[in-house]
Amino acid sequence: MPSSVHSQDQSMLDVDPQVPEQQAEEDEAAGILDEQRITILPGALETAASFQFEGEDHTLGNALRYVIMKNPEVEFCGYTIPHPSEAKMNLRIQTYDTTTVFEVLRKGLDDLMDLCDVVTEKFTVARDGFDAEKMQ
C-alpha cells in the first residue's frame, strides 16, 4: 500500500482505557436516551405529521399502518425504513379535520396492543388445549 494510507492510521495505544465507573455512567446515559423512542419530524401539523421510531422495523411499521388505516378519521398512513442499516422507521399520518394525528397514533398503538393481547390469549388457549389432548 502507498505510504500515505498508513500515515493516517493511529495506534490503539493512543486510546484511553475506560474506567468502569465511566462506562457505567455512559451505559446509564444511553438508557435514559432509549426511553424516548418516538420523535416528531419537522413540519408537523395537527392533521399531518411524520414520526420516527427508533429501534423498529417492518414488523411494527406494517402492523401499525394496518391498524391506523382501519380508523375512518384517517386519510393516509404509510411507513418507510429510511435505510436498511439503520434501525429506524418513519410513519406518516394524515387525518381529516375531525381529529389530530397524535390522537390517531395513540389510538393505533392502543388498538395494536389490544390485538396482540387477543392473539396471545387465543394462542395460549390453543396451546394448552393441544398439550392437554396430547397427555390423554
Contact 78, 65 (CB under 8 A): yes
Confidence of residue 31 (pLDDT cuts 50, 70, 90): very low
Provide the pLDDT for residue 61.
95
Q: What is the mean pLDDT of residues 117-134?
A: 95
pLDDT: is 128 or 136 the higher one? 128
Residue 98 above 60 pLDDT?
yes
Residue ranges per structural domain of the chain: 33-135
CA end-to-end span of the chain:
72
Residue 33 above 50 pLDDT?
no
Amino acid present at 75? E
Residue 118 above 90 pLDDT?
yes
What is the model's pTM?
0.70
Residue 102 above 90 pLDDT?
yes
% of the chain with per-residue pLDDT over 70: 74
Amino acid present at 44? A
Q: What is the mean pLDDT of residues 61-68?
A: 97
Domain 33-135 CATH class label: alpha beta
Q: What is the mean pLDDT of residues 66-83?
A: 97
- CA-CA distance, 65 to 72, in Å (whole number)? 13
Residue 34 above 60 pLDDT?
no
Amino acid present at 4? S
